[in-house]
A = this chain, B = another copy of it.
């Protein structure tokens, strides 16, 4: 390998040094100095409920975690992009199709930015969307059942990072590529990146009633890195904004080579204009392969369909649709205030925080005040679109949220703090340290026209001494602040699970009222469901053995099975007959090369067992369900491949 001179590394190493926190900083206030008030502010007494839901990205867990605020307690981990042995998600026959892609079955994902569906610019609590970064996908979770019900792969994309943010009526969930790639993919030298790679910005339509997703169009942009995005709202509804970095189009050592330009861009996309263009037949249908996976809550089964083409739009074919706003320097977060007027570009290598004006942008566009173009896309003049700057507010700004009271809150990774500042005057009002090295922050309702600004929480990237040590690996840490007063007040450190990139949060009531308690057995349309003892049976089809089984406190039916042979593929189709909230049953059989099933009341789930050894093997309920849970077991006999043991089954009496 060739040796290189890392010319800019010395300059940048100061940034790295700032992120090391070997000197164990602690909050100045010890609990002795904290008033009782603070403990009470986060304490949710037994029998009472938290006031807010927080849906925190699991990051490299591939999942989405559900927390309560202000307690910081984790109530659920919803499996989305990763196999989840706990419930059998991605292992059971019904859920494996959810993880299908054009690259085959993928057991893992890197989830990033959850965003709750909106109606009229307010979050409505119906669905939550989240992106997968590595093998680009967008998932939808139904907030009635808290289950992942749809995943769509995003073709022509790589590092699906500027995603998954919704427009103000959830017309679209938007996904933008972080890494540009050859489009279509082809065998070419990496060094020919510049001018040849492209970045796709995907607009995925969401059907108003069902929420069904479909890729309406992709805009094929220059080969920059599209880092984050947010929708316009209010006056800027119809536009979408994306930060870019690596406008240098470097393909190696980006920490140096993509940190050269003083300004990169925010791409402003008039999606209504492009939608109109597309509705009139604009764009090109391009061959592409991408999976669309849908979970049916009546069959309790997912299906995966491979799509074969996608509509792509060349932005220079739609004049007036896409513009570049120069923004210093390698901006990360791209945040739009509740009014839709201000677009904040969090330039992570910039001394100042840049805020653009939507009104000024429209004016500059109307007056064609362009400063050249990039690959045919007009560049507006920095001064013409600038609303203002927050001067030297901190080091390494990443993300900004809003409280709906005219204030903005920006995280600074390097100086490890949250800074509160005023929209319009750009004055800094308050700053509070975060331990350590904060990434995103969330205010409930933050990405909407109506933030619910009582709490703010910071999601920190480095934990070190914040908790009791757990060896070399520590969970990331979140910090909850009360922002109802003039000054932010730190209330609580709470650990997260996985890597919390972003979180969406909202007041609890809307979701709480609609939360489903059971699946109605009468609506169970699973083809292998059994509803009574009369439905239970064991059916052989060649070397497949299908067991139609029921569970109810505290037995399986059947619970004795004979006639299975080595080499068979045994399908346990287990229906949970319970119709009582919070009474799942589990199922596992010894030696199975897959996970358990965790079956909610009214559901049917299927697990495969391919026994390799003769014997009498037990199965049992894995979820302590009743006083006689330990008695909830059965046996299945496995005979040699050439045996003549007849297929028989029973419950309550011996097999004769």
Given contacts A103-B613, A493-B46, A593-B104, contact A66 B470 (CB under 8 A): yes
Given contacts A40-B36, A435-B47, A494-B73, contact A12 B628 (CB under 8 A): yes
Q: Is A439 engaged at the interface, CB distance under 8 Å to the other chain? A: yes
Given contacts A82-B85, A586-B60, A627-B348, contact A654 B471 (CB under 8 A): no
Are B469 and A3 in contact, CB atoms less than 8 angstroms apart? no
Interface residues of A in 76-125 (CB under 8 A from B): 76-77, 82-83, 85-87, 91, 101-108, 110
**In the complex, per-residue mask of A274-301: 1 if CB is within 8 Å of any chain B CB, else 0:** 0000000000000000000000000000
Are B74 and A62 in contact, CB atoms less than 8 angstroms apart? no
**Which one of B50, B473, B589, B624 contacts A499 once the chains associate, using CB atoms below 8 Å?**
B624
Q: How far is the CA of A645 from the CA of B133 in the complex (A)?
A: 29
Are A45 and B16 in contact, CB atoms less than 8 angstroms apart? no
Identify whether the interface residues of A are mostly helix, strand, loop, or mixed. loop
> With a CB–CB cut-off of 8 A, which chain B residues contact A82?
85-86, 595
**In the complex, per-residue mask of A553-568: 1 if CB is within 8 Å of any chain B CB, else 0:** 1110111101000000
Are A616 and B181 in contact, CB atoms less than 8 angstroms apart? yes
Interface residues of A in 453-496 (CB under 8 A from B): 461-464, 466-475, 479, 490, 492-495
Q: How far is the CA of A43 from the CA of B537 in the complex (A)?
A: 54
**Top-6 shortest CB links A-B:** A185-B615, A4-B652, A146-B471, A103-B591, A39-B43, A108-B595
Number of A positions contacting B (CB below 8 A) = 204
Interface residues of A in 589-623 (CB under 8 A from B): 589-596, 598, 600-602, 612-618, 620, 622-623
**Which one of B1, B182, B625 contacts A650 once the chains associate, using CB atoms below 8 Å?**
B1
Indicate the member of A1, A330, A558, A620 with the most B CB atoms within 10 Å.
A1
Q: Is A581 engaged at the interface, CB distance under 8 Å to the other chain? A: yes
**In the complex, per-residue mask of A149-181: 1 if CB is within 8 Å of any chain B CB, else 0:** 000000000110100000000000000001101
Q: How far is the CA of A306 from the CA of B461 in the complex (A)?
A: 41
Q: Is A541 engaged at the interface, CB distance under 8 Å to the other chain? A: no
Are B182 and A581 in contact, CB atoms less than 8 angstroms apart? no
Number of identical monomers bound together in the oligomeric complex: 2
> With a CB–CB cut-off of 8 A, which chain B residues contact A16?
553-554, 626-628
Residue of B whose beta carbon sits closest to that of A158 = B618
Q: Is A649 engaged at the interface, CB distance under 8 Å to the other chain? A: yes
**Of A201-209, A312-320, A634-642, which stretch is located at the interface?**
A634-642
5 residue pairs bridging A and B, Cβ less than 8 Å apart: A42-B43, A50-B468, A60-B85, A134-B589, A193-B635
Q: Is A524 engaged at the interface, CB distance under 8 Å to the other chain? A: no
Given contacts A60-B598, A253-B559, contact A628 B108 (CB under 8 A): no
> With a CB–CB cut-off of 8 A, which chain B residues contact A612?
103-104
Residue of B whose beta carbon sits closest to that of A436 = B582
Q: How far is the CA of A73 from the CA of B67 in the complex (A)?
A: 12
Are A622 and B110 in contact, CB atoms less than 8 angstroms apart? yes
**Which one of B68, B554, B582 contacts A464 once the chains associate, using CB atoms below 8 Å?**
B582
- A157 vs chain B, min Cβ distance (A): 9
> With a CB–CB cut-off of 8 A, which chain B residues contact A413?
627
Q: Is A225 engaged at the interface, CB distance under 8 Å to the other chain? A: yes
Given contacts A77-B497, A254-B631, A601-B472, contact A653 B2 (CB under 8 A): yes
**Of A25-33, A366-374, A386-394, which stretch is located at the interface?**
A25-33
Q: Is A396 engaged at the interface, CB distance under 8 Å to the other chain? A: yes
Q: Is A527 engaged at the interface, CB distance under 8 Å to the other chain? A: no
> With a CB–CB cut-off of 8 A, which chain B residues contact A600?
472-473
Q: Is A235 engaged at the interface, CB distance under 8 Å to the other chain? A: no
- A194 vs chain B, min Cβ distance (A): 10
Q: Is A362 engaged at the interface, CB distance under 8 Å to the other chain? A: no
Q: How far is the CA of A617 from the CA of B105 in the complex (A)?
A: 18
Q: Is A10 engaged at the interface, CB distance under 8 Å to the other chain? A: no
Are A86 and B66 in contact, CB atoms less than 8 angstroms apart? no
**In the complex, per-residue mask of A374-391: 1 if CB is within 8 Å of any chain B CB, else 0:** 000000000000000000
> With a CB–CB cut-off of 8 A, which chain B residues contact A4?
651-653
Given contacts A86-B498, A252-B653, A497-B74, contact A179 B519 (CB under 8 A): no
Q: How far is the CA of A145 from the CA of B474 in the complex (A)?
A: 11
- A81 vs chain B, min Cβ distance (A): 8
Q: How far is the CA of A26 from the CA of B45 in the complex (A)?
A: 11
**Of A211-219, A443-451, A508-516, which stretch is located at the interface?**
A508-516
Indicate the member of A50, A133, A617 with the most B CB atoms within 10 Å.
A617
Beyond A12-B628, A413-B627, A497-B497, 5 additional contacts (C-beta under 8 Å) are A1-B537, A60-B588, A159-B620, A186-B615, A187-B638
Are B108 and A617 in contact, CB atoms less than 8 angstroms apart? no
Are B473 and A584 in contact, CB atoms less than 8 angstroms apart? yes
Q: Is A72 engaged at the interface, CB distance under 8 Å to the other chain? A: yes
Residue of B whose beta carbon sits closest to that of A250 = B631
- A488 vs chain B, min Cβ distance (A): 13
Are B615 and A182 in contact, CB atoms less than 8 angstroms apart? yes
Are A633 and B179 in contact, CB atoms less than 8 angstroms apart? yes
**In the complex, per-residue mask of A1-28: 1 if CB is within 8 Å of any chain B CB, else 0:** 1111010000010011011101000110
Q: How far is the CA of A480 from the CA of B600 in the complex (A)?
A: 27
**Which one of B59, B146, B463 contacts A582 once the chains associate, using CB atoms below 8 Å?**
B463
Are B255 and A628 in contact, CB atoms less than 8 angstroms apart? yes
- A58 vs chain B, min Cβ distance (A): 8
> With a CB–CB cut-off of 8 A, which chain B residues contact A227?
630
Q: How far is the CA of A91 from the CA of B90 in the complex (A)?
A: 14
Q: Is A128 engaged at the interface, CB distance under 8 Å to the other chain? A: no
Are A560 and B252 in contact, CB atoms less than 8 angstroms apart? yes
**In the complex, per-residue mask of A408-434: 1 if CB is within 8 Å of any chain B CB, else 0:** 000001100000000000000000000
Residue of B whose beta carbon sits closest to that of A414 = B627
